[in-house]
Amino acid sequence: MKWLALVLALLAAPLAAQTRLLLGATHTLDNSGFLAAVLPQFTADTGIRVDTVVLGTRQILAMAERGEFDVLITHHRPSELAFIAAGYGTARNDLMFNDFVLIGPADDPAGIASAADAPAALAAIAASQARFISRGDESGTHLREQELWAQAGLNPAGDWYYAVGAGMGATLNIAAALSAYTLSDRATWLTFQGQAGLALLFEGGAGLRNDYSLIEINAARFAHINAQAAQTFASWMLGPKGQAAIAAFRPNGQQLFCPARQHPGQEQGGKPCTANAQ
């Protein structure tokens, strides 16, 4: 009966439209293992498969301006707010946070461990011309690094400063090979720590807080966007299950991200996060 087949197909269409989601995400979420741990939980609950493209925040936002994603997770507030203001996304939602840390040779030749704040630590590196590895990829980490140099009143250049155009994991590997300093998000550092000769030398302060946001792409601007699946993803990630999954992501017993939202009945238990929350 052709009419019955047609009715069943029409009834199945809304569900079929939700079965695939394209997520633009930052390197940190991949390097830390977060995506591999959390996305299967979302798929198990909703039946929606998530395909991901992993790049730096600015690269993700540039692709999203062409309608190449359904939803984003990025971590540079000024760029995200400009993206929303231009009408490419519907809203910026606080998802989770951790912090940035300054990593370097364990013997700390620039003496940054005793610096008053992060800009002062960078100024000490520049003054000593100790090697510094910059991601140089317009990621959220790279953009924050540039902001910290500006706060120090410096425009780093010279043989001691290397912009490598790589993700966080690769940047840490290069820093280890060259006995150099670098700025890292804490999650990737905790995942990669143990690299020969490197140590966490400076942390703390509001300027090093690292906020991640979830942005749904504006379907009114891009008709092909899977808005239904994006809304389901946002509701899950920002709701009790997603926020609990963020808190529970603890490789080797170390919490790498703090959920941004507290839901009734959600247990934090002990120290809530490794991140600096000031």
The per-residue pLDDT string of the chain (278 residues; one tens digit each, 9 = 90 and over) reads 444 443 334 334 444 455 899 999 998 899 899 999 999 999 999 999 999 999 999 999 999 999 999 999 999 999 999 999 999 999 999 999 999 999 999 999 999 999 999 999 999 999 999 999 999 999 999 999 999 999 999 999 999 999 999 989 899 999 999 999 999 999 999 888 767 789 999 999 878 999 999 999 999 999 999 999 999 999 999 999 999 999 999 998 889 999 998 755 444 433 445 544 43
So what's the pLDDT on residue 197? 83
pLDDT at 110: 98
SS3 102: strand
Measure Cα distances from 101 to 96, 139, 200, 206, 274 in Å.
17, 15, 7, 12, 11
Q: What is the pLDDT of residue 18?
A: 58
pLDDT of residue 199: 95
Per DSSP, the three-state class of 157 is coil
Closest CA to 17 of 216, 215, 223: 223
Its pTM stands at 0.84
Going by C-alpha positions, the residue among 43, 44, 41, 51 that lies closest to residue 21 is 51
| pLDDT at residue 248 in the model | 95
Helix 34-46 crosses helix 240-248 at what angle (to 10 degrees)?
150
Give the per-residue pLDDT at 191: 86
Element (H, E) at 231: helix 227-238
